[in-house]
Amino acid sequence: MLHITTLHYLILGAALFLLGVIGVLTRRNVVIVLMSIELILNAVNLNLVAFSHYWQGMPARLGGGPLALHGQIFSIFVITDAAAEAAVGLGILIAFFRNKETVNIDEVNLLKW
């Protein structure tokens, strides 16, 4: 490949997303599950910034142009959400570890019937 297009970034984002999904579905350690969620959010962020770059090269009558930075704005909001999610998730993890002395996600079955 001689030059890098938007599709390259999308494929990289999809691969990272898949890695995150595999981590969420297969790991037992809650901390690593939360880190896999961060991987998923980062894959989405990469897609958003790549599309922002793509739209900056589009003509202005379609909504593009150098001011079309909406993808970057949205990725900043996603980073904010990731911070909030990590803080609350790790707080829940600490509360859970205090009660049951484990970090394994398949032993978290208090609400399961």
Within 76-105, which residues bind another protein (CB under 8 A)?
76-77, 79-88, 90-95, 97-98, 102-105
If one asks whether residue 72 binds another protein (CB under 8 A), the answer comes out as yes
Q: Which amino acid is at 31?
A: V
3-state secondary structure of 1: coil
If one asks whether residue 37 binds another protein (CB under 8 A), the answer comes out as no
Measuring CA to CA, how many Å separate 5 from each of 28, 44, 50? 37, 17, 9
- Which residue matches tokens 């999904």? 21
Quote the least distance from Cβ 44 to another protein, whole Å. 12
Quote the least distance from Cβ 112 to another protein, whole Å. 14
